[in-house]
């Protein structure tokens, strides 16, 4: 198999590590194959949209999610490095309100599968970050929500340096408090 799957601290959220084949010409990796992906997750997942995000160093995006039409996401970094954050927003889950952070990079080719019902955000660690992600539901602006990246109740441990000045969109800076989230 050309993928290895690693469990994370949140149920159903998994890190997918593709096998990289190197030779004197360069390298090759299989990043997605439907049947293998289904087999790894032990369920069928249909992607309906692919998105791409370009970010400067120090950009923080999220924590984004959709109500009523939650999106599952398969995240990969095409260029650069990020600190990726996933928050369990499923009210009936034993891990509701818990979060994990994972370092992803274009060098490692690792991907993260985030099932529907989770919030997602990331911090760009390098310039020219290019992030690609497949989603299981179409983007519906009327259902889109955002939790503030520095919400006190979530207490996410972002890898911030001493003089770090985050770049946050106006929309994200007006995000909800975690305690005010209604899914």
Could you give the residue numbers annotated as active site?
A: 64, 133
Residue 15 in contact with residue 6, Cβ under 8 Å? Answer: yes
Q: Are 63 and 146 a contacting pair, CB within 8 Å?
A: yes
Q: Do 109 and 143 meet the contact criterion of CB atoms below 8 Å apart?
A: no
Those residues with Cβ within 8 angstroms of residue 25's Cβ, 6 or more apart along the chain or in another chain? none
Handedness of CA 35, 37, 41, 47 (dihedral sign): negative
What is the DSSP code (8-state) at residue 175?
P
C-alpha span between 99 and 118 (Å, rounded): 9
Local structure of 44: helix, strand or coil: coil
Tell me phi and psi for residue 57, to 5 degrees.
-60, 140
């Amino acid at each position: 198999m050309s993928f290895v799957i690693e469990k994370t601290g949140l149920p159903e959220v998994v890190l997918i590590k593709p096998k990289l084949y190197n030779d004197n010409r360069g390298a090759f990796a299989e990043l997605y194959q439907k049947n293998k992906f289904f087999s790894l997750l032990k369920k069928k997942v249909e992607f309906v949209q692919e998105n791409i995000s370009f970010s400067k160093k120090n950009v923080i995006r999220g924590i984004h999610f959709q109500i009523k039409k939650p999106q599952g996401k398969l995240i990969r970094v095409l260029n650069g490095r990020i600190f990726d954050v996933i928050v369990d927003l499923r009210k009936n889950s034993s891990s509701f309100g818990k979060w994990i952070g994972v370092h992803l990079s274009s060098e490692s080719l690792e991907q993260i599968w985030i099932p529907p019902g989770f919030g997602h955000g990331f911090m760009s660690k390098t310039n020219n970050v290019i992030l690609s992600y497949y989603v299981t539901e179409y983007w519906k602006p009327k259902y889109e929500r955002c939790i503030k990246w520095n919400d006190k109740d979530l207490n996410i441990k972002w890898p911030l340096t001493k003089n770090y000045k985050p770049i946050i969109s106006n929309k994200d800076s007006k995000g909800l408090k975690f305690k005010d989230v209604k899914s």
